[in-house]
Amino acid sequence: MSLCQLENNDTYRLGIWKIEEDEISLRRLIKEDIAVPFTNAGKRIEFLAVRALAKAMDIDPLKIAHLPSGKPYIENCALNVSISHTKGYVAILLSSLIHMGIDIEQISERILKVRSKFMHPDEEKALYGLKCNESSSLLLHWCAKESLYKAIPDEEVDFINDLRILQFNISGEKGSFRAKALKSGINFQVYYTIEKDFVLTYCFSKESR
């Protein structure tokens, strides 16, 4: 079993699964006959790993469904769910809060080449003078904005102009910072974790906490 992190509290449940199994092993863990809507081997493994993690979090893997927009939900369940995956890992966030989201990203220097696609000039300016790794800082901005995008009701979101990271700083391997979805005016608290292989962010609207 590859459950590498599980958090439970009064606000949310969070799980991270390190993918070390093949398709047959994952199916054995799930113990359910699940149809996988992909032919690509990697996507099939990710799909099943999400269901294996869901089962470990006491979520019925057969009840995970998706809206036409792609947003996941759990059938006949009052709780909200957010799902993310990256190379070798999947993550699930479960909460009764409405505006919530999670993202997990593999650590890579490639983020330095694509910063112009998601960084606002004010965010770039805020990075100057910070004593923190540049690639980690940029990756956390991207990861946080992905989390925000999953948490908000807005459509056609521009990552540069519609999502803003505020008072950013890295204060260790775990911490938090503020963010805002400018179209809807929703304020968020973003929590982060930096691991050897990945960074993880998850967010909740401050109004609902």
Q: Band of the pLDDT at 28, cuts 50, 70, 90?
A: very high
pLDDT (mean) for 176-184: 95
Q: Which residue has the tokens 């092993």?
A: 25
pLDDT the model gives residue 128: 84
Q: Band of the pLDDT at 208, cuts 50, 70, 90?
A: low
pLDDT at 131 over 80: no
pLDDT at 147 over 80: yes
Supply the mean pLDDT for the chain: 92
- Note whether 164 and 122 are within 8 A (CB): yes
Cα 199 to the center of its chain, rounded Å: 9
Domain residue ranges of the chain, discontinuous segments joined by +: 3-96, 104-208
pLDDT at 1 over 60: no
Q: Residue 176: in which H helix or E strand, if any?
A: strand 174-181
Query: Residue 188: beta bridge partners?
Result: 179, 205
Domain 3-96 classified CATH 3.90.470.20? yes
pLDDT at 69 over 90: no
pLDDT at 183 over 70: yes
pLDDT (mean) for 109-127: 94
pLDDT (mean) for 170-193: 94
Q: Is 124 left (phi over 0), alpha (psi -120 to 50) or beta?
A: alpha
Q: Band of the pLDDT at 57, cuts 50, 70, 90?
A: very high
Helices and strands (H and E) in the chain: how many:
4, 11
> How confident is the model over 150-177, as pLDDT tens digits?
999 888 899 999 999 998 988 889 999 9
